[in-house]
Amino acid sequence: MSTIQPPHTQTRTALITGASQGLGLALARRLATDGWRLLLDARTAGTLASAHSQLVALAPDPSLIVTIAGDVTNPAHREALAAAAREVGGLDALVNNAGALGPSPLPSLLTYPLDALEAVYLANVFAPLALIQTLAPTLKQGARILNITSDAGVEAYPGWGGYGSSKAALEQLSNVLAVEQPEWRVYWVDPGDMRTAMHQAAFPGEDISDRPLPEESVPGLMELLTADLPSGRYRAHDLA
C-alpha cells in the first residue's frame, strides 16, 4: 500500500528572500504558525538568526525552519538555496521579497548615480529572475511565485525613478513569465505602504508611524499562496 499522503496533508514548502525583517518576516511568522516548511534568506546573518529564533518558537516542528544567510545577487548563494530546496523535495512557493531601495534621500533621475542604479536593478530585477532560473527544477507543478513589487512601479513619484523603474521591469518580467510558464501561478503583488526600515529610508527623518505594519499585508499574500487565483498583478489589501 502506498504511504504517500494526500496533497492536503503534505507539508508545504516556501522559500522567502529578505525574511529577517519587515514583510518577509511577517509572512514567515504566519506560514510557520500554519505549519509550512520554510527556507529563509537574508543578507545579515545576525538578524536572520534572530528571526530563526522567533520562528522556531511558532512552528510545530523546529526542523521546518531553515535559514541561509547570503545575498541573492550572489550566484553561489542562489545555488545554496537551490541545494536546500532539492534537499527538502522541492518548493510549493517562492517569494521574491528581497530588494534594494537605492540612495537615501531619494535622488532625482538627473542626479541619480548610475552605479547605484545598477545595484538597484541587480537586486530588484536580475536577482529575482536569476533565482527563478536557478530554482526552476525544484518548483512543483502549480507552484506559486510571488514577486513583491510596488505602486512606484506603475505610478510616477518624484525621486522614485530608480526604484520604481526597477519594479516596473520586475512586473513585466513576471507578466511574460506567467505566459511562458502556465504550469506555475506567477503573481506580482503590491503590498502597499508599510512601516518598514526600507520605507523609513525613503523618508529619512519623517514620522511614518501612520503607515500600516507589514502584518496587515500578509492576509492578501496568504490568499495568493493558498487559493487558486490566476496569474497576474494584485494589491495585497484588495485581496484581504
For residue 58 the three cell numbers come to 511558532
The C-alpha cell 545554496 sits at 80
pLDDT at 187: 98
Question: Rounded distance, CA 99 to CA 23, Å?
Answer: 11
Asked if 167 is an active-site residue, the reply is yes
Please list, in sequence order, all residues whose beta carbon lies within 8 angstroms of the beta carbon of residue 16, skipping any fewer than 6 positions away: 24, 27, 28, 31, 38, 39, 40, 41, 95, 97
pLDDT, one tens digit per residue, over 166-199 is 999 999 999 999 999 999 999 999 998 878 778 7
Q: Which residues pair with 61 in a beta bridge?
A: none
* The pLDDT value given to residue 174: 98
Find the helix or strand (DSSP H, E) in which 179 lies: helix 161-180
For the chain, list the domains and their CATH numbers: 10-239 (3.40.50.720)
Among 165, 186, 47, 44, residue whose Cα is nearest residue 102 = 165
Which entry of 121, 163, 187, 234 is annotated as an active-site residue?
A: 163
What is the pLDDT tens value at each position of the chain, 240 positions in all? 222 233 334 899 999 999 999 999 999 999 999 999 999 999 999 999 999 999 999 999 999 999 999 999 999 999 999 999 999 999 999 999 999 999 999 999 999 999 999 999 999 999 999 999 999 999 999 999 999 999 999 999 999 999 999 999 999 999 999 999 999 999 999 998 878 778 777 778 888 788 888 999 999 999 999 999 999 999 999 997
For 83, the 3-state DSSP assignment is: helix
Tell which phi-psi region holds residue 2, choosing left (phi > 0), alpha (psi between -120 and 50) or beta: beta
Q: What is the pTM of this model?
A: 0.93
Going 16 to 18 to 19 to 22, the CA torsion angle's sign is negative
Query: Which of these is catalytic: 112, 167, 187, 234?
Result: 167
